[in-house]
Amino acid sequence: PSGTGLDMAAAGRRRRRRGRAGEVAEDGGAVLRRLRDARDDLLSSGFWAASAGASVRARLGGSAELPARCVCYGLGRFGGCPIARDQLAFLLLLLEELGVPPARCSLFDPVFSEREAAVLGELGLRLLPENEEGKHDIEGSATLFYMVHCGNALYNNLLWRNWSLGALPKLVIIGNSFRGIEERLLPRILRRDYSYIAKVLKVTEEVALPAHPRYLDTFNDTSIHWFPLEKLQELSPEIWDFVEEPTYEDCDNLEIIRREEKTHGCSPIAA
């Protein structure tokens, strides 16, 4: 009898798991439909065409090396948050534009639900297994980092990890305007807390995404950034010798920097 009870309990657990899997699949289908609608809206509004012309082609045209990979941080709860869903739809269009296969695009946000993780898998995208705190080494591959409305420390950590004349020219960052970061922070705070952003500012090329009334909250203060080798070579040679890992003891609003922290809510980008 006890064995029969264990069998029944195991069968019950299997049914519950199948039920949850079915719910995830059903909900995931609804998310995919809303994502397709968001894509169609981006195309019909003219925002995507203007963005591709003003930024993507401006950076990647001519002799520029096309990114072979993409990393996305801080997307947010796109299953329920329209802002995050529009940003994901934009990312998918961007991958098509650049010819980057979905399997070569990796994402991380601690707020992703089981349903959202399943949807990303359906789209062929990869989830990073852990919180890198933005410290992603491109390992010689030209890489696009899609980091819309992320915390300043993530950009700073990314620059630190790739702080060399060989790596920085291979980075393209779509995220918060570096010029805007400079304008919002006192110079001493910028140099103390985000020293790698401060050091690279004057040689950073930046093009803002165009303003559009429908997407003001979604892409406000968003620019595409790149770091031309010829400009980087103008910096003092000593600047490359000091490569101390950043710490943020006195900083607030680090969002998904700390591995031990958990983030909740719709999305940090909606804050």
Q: Write down the pLDDT at residue 58.
A: 60
Tell whether 67 is covered by a domain: yes
Instruction: Please say if the pLDDT value at position 159 is more than 80.
Output: yes
Residue 213 has pLDDT above 60, yes or no: yes
Tokens representing 138? Answer: 């491109």
**pLDDT tier for residue 60 given thresholds of 50, 70 and 90:** low
> Tell me, what CATH number does 229's domain have?
3.40.50
Tell me whether residue 271 is in a domain: no
Using 50, 70 and 90 to split pLDDT, how confident is the model at 53? Answer: low
**Inter-residue contact 193 to 250 (CB < 8 Å):** yes
Angle, CA 66 vertex, CA 62 and CA 68 arms, to 5°: 170
Is 8 part of a structural domain of the chain? no
- Scan for tokens 């305007």, then name that residue: 177
Q: Give tens-digit pLDDT for 8-48.
A: 445 555 544 444 444 445 577 899 999 999 999 999 999 99
Which residues have C-beta within 8 Å of that of residue 189, sequence separation ≥ 6? none
Q: What is the pLDDT of residue 251?
A: 75
* Average pLDDT of the chain to the nearest whole number: 84
Closest to 113 measured CA to CA, from 247, 248, 263, 238? 263
Mean pLDDT of 239-251: 87
Q: Please, what is the angle between helix 2-45 and helix 82-98, to 10°?
A: 70
Do the beta carbons of residue 172 and residue 224 sit within 8 Å? Answer: yes
Spatial separation of the C-alpha atoms in residues 228 and 32, rounded to whole Å: 38
Tell me the helices (H) and strands (E) count for the chain, helix number first. 11, 7
| The pLDDT of residue 55 is above 70 | no
User: How long a stretch of residues is the chain?
Assistant: 271
Task: Look at residue 63 and tell me if it is in a domain.
Answer: yes
The residue segments making up the domain with residue 235 are: 27-241
Mean pLDDT of 178-202: 95
Residue 65 has what pLDDT?
76
Q: Is residue 253's pLDDT more than 70? A: no
Q: Could you tell me if 114 and 138 are in contact, meaning their C-beta atoms sit under 8 angstroms apart? A: no
Angstrom distance (rounded) from CA 22 to CA 26: 6
- Whether residue 209 contacts residue 178, with contact meaning beta carbons closer than 8 Å, is answered with no
Residue 11 domain-assigned?
A: no
Q: What is the pLDDT of residue 256?
A: 62
35 is a domain residue: yes
Enter the tokens of residue 76.
Answer: 């947010």
Compute and round to an integer the Cα radius of gyration of the chain. 21
**How many domains does the chain fold into?**
1
Quick: pLDDT tens for 1-10: 434 444 544 5
What does the pLDDT read at residue 128?
Answer: 96
In a domain, 192, yes or no: yes
Q: What is the pTM of this model?
A: 0.84
Residue 195 located in a structural domain: yes
Dihedral (CA of 246, 71, 64, 210) sign: negative
